Amino acid sequence: MYCFNCGKKISKRAIVCTNCGAKVSPILPPRKQDILRDQRALNPILSLACFLQPALGMILYFIWKKDSNLRAKAAMKWSVAGVGIQITVIAIVMVYVISFMSVFNITYPL
């Protein structure tokens, strides 16, 4: 990279310019600290809570969306997964109930 002050080429890891001594702020990946915090923030218990109770995950998503986007997305991801599983379970139960009702009607017609 180049010094913003004197324009001389300097080391990527330089803290101060070796030519003019101007402070060079190290370039970190965007919001790396925030990302790490977000990953820790949504602990497994909370993930499970969102999974089992998707409404909670949706609420948390809107609460966290403003200041912690990744944590909000994690909550939403678990909620969507939870909704998916619940719809699947309901669909399977309904298929069984309908099958049972069909059998019931054939065996014992009113």
Among 1, 14, 16, 20, binds Zn ion (CB under 5 A): 20
Name the residue nearer to Zn ion (CB basis): 6 or 15: 6
Closest CA to 74 of 104, 108, 44: 44
Q: In Å, how far from its chain's centre is CA 69?
A: 8
- d(CA 86, CA 52) in angstroms, rounded, equals 9
Query: Near Zn ion by CB under 5 A, which window of 4-12, 37-45, 56-64, 65-73?
Result: 4-12
> Which stretch, 14-22, 43-51, 82-90, 100-108, contacts Zn ion (CB under 5 A)?
14-22
Instruction: Check residue 40 and report its DSSP letter.
Output: H
CB 23 to Zn ion: min, Å: 10
Query: For residue 43, which amino acid is it?
Result: N
Residue 27 beta carbon to Zn ion: minimum distance, rounded to whole angstroms: 16
* Beta partners for residue 2, in sequence order: 9
CA dihedral 66, 43, 41, 84 (to 10 degrees): -20
6 near Zn ion (CB under 5 A):
yes
**In the range 21-50, which residues lie near Zn ion by CB under 5 A?**
22
**3 counts as binding Zn ion under rule CB under 5 A:** yes
Contacts with Zn ion by CB under 5 A lie at 3, 5-6, 17, 19-20, 22
